[in-house]
Chain A
Amino acid sequence: MFQNRAEALALALPAAVFAAMVFLLPVAILLSEGFRLEGAWTLSAYGDFFSGTLNRTVFIRTFKLGLEVTAVSAVIGYAAAFVIVNLPPKGKGRMIGLITLPLMISPVARTYAWIVILGRTGIVNKVVTGMGFSGEPLRLLFTETAVFIGLLQLFLPLMILSLVSALENMPKDAIPAARVLGANWFQVFWKVILPLTREGLVVGGTLVFTGSLTAYITPAVLGGSKVLMLETLLYQQVSVANNFVSASVIAFMLIVMSFAANILLKRLATARNKR
Chain B
Amino acid sequence: MKTSLIASAALLALVPFGVMAQERTLTVSVYAFAQDDFKTLVYDPFEQQCGCKLVVETGNSVERLAKLEANKTNPVVDMAVVSMADALSASRKGLIDKIDTAKLTNFDKLYDLAKDPNSDGMSVGYTFYATSIAYRSDKMKIESWADLLKPEYVGHVAFPNVTTNQGPPALYMLGLALGKDTADLKGPIEAVGEKKDDIVTFYEKSSQLVQLMQQEEIWAAPIGRFSWAGFTKLDVPVAWATPKEGQTGGMNVMVVTKGAKNQDLALQFMDFWLSTDIQTKLAEKLIDSPANKDVKVSEAAANNLTYGEDTAKSLKLIPSAAALDNRDAWLKEWNAKVGQ
Contact = CB atoms under 8 A, between A and B. Distances in A.
Interface in A114-148: 115-116, 119-122, 139, 141-142
Nearest to B61: A239
A165 interface: no
B163 A141 contact: no
Interface stretch (B4-12, B111-119, B173-181, B211-219): B211-219
Contact of B201 (A52, A53, A226): A226
B163 A221 contact: no
A241 B161 CA distance: 13
A225 interface: yes
A116 B217 CA distance: 10
B216 A120 contact: yes
A142 B163 contact: no
A1 interface: no
B340 A220 contact: no
A231 to B, nearest CB: 13
A220 B208 CA distance: 11
A224 B204 contact: yes
A86 interface: no
B46 interface: no
A197 to B, nearest CB: 40
A141 to B, nearest CB: 6
Nearest to A115: B211
Given A115-B215, A226-B196, A241-B328, A54 B336 contact: yes
Given A115-B211, A240-B331, A224 B201 contact: yes
Interface in B57-109: 60, 62-63, 66
B163 A225 contact: yes
Contacts of A224: 161, 201-204
B335 interface: yes
B128 to A, nearest CB: 21
Interface residues of B, number: 26
B319 interface: no
A121 B217 CA distance: 8
B200 interface: yes
A120 B339 CA distance: 23
A120 B196 contact: no
Interface string A227-246: 01000000010111110000
Contacts of B202: 224-226
A57 interface: yes
B223 to A, nearest CB: 16
B60 A239 contact: yes
Contacts of B215: 115-116, 119-122
B201 A141 contact: yes
Nearest to B161: A225
A105 B161 CA distance: 29
A208 to B, nearest CB: 26
Nearest to A224: B201
B217 A239 contact: no
Q: With a 10 A CB-CB cut-off, give which of B211, B217, B336 has the most chain A CB atoms.
A: B217
Contact of B62 (A139, A141, A239): A239
Contacts of A141: 200-201, 217
Interface of B: 60, 62-63, 66, 161, 163, 196, 200-204, 208, 211-212, 215-217, 327-328, 331, 335-336, 338-340
Interface of A: 52-54, 57, 112, 115-116, 119-122, 139, 141-142, 220-221, 224-226, 228, 236, 238-242
Given A122-B215, A225-B339, A238-B62, 9 more contacts: A54-B336, A112-B211, A120-B215, A224-B202, A225-B201, A226-B201, A236-B331, A239-B63, A241-B331
16 contacts: A53-B340, A54-B335, A54-B336, A54-B339, A115-B211, A115-B215, A121-B216, A141-B201, A141-B217, A142-B200, A221-B208, A225-B163, A225-B201, A225-B339, A226-B196, A240-B163
9 cross-chain pairs, A with B, having the tightest CB-CB distances, nearest first = A240-B163, A119-B215, A142-B201, A225-B202, A54-B340, A224-B201, A54-B335, A225-B161, A57-B340
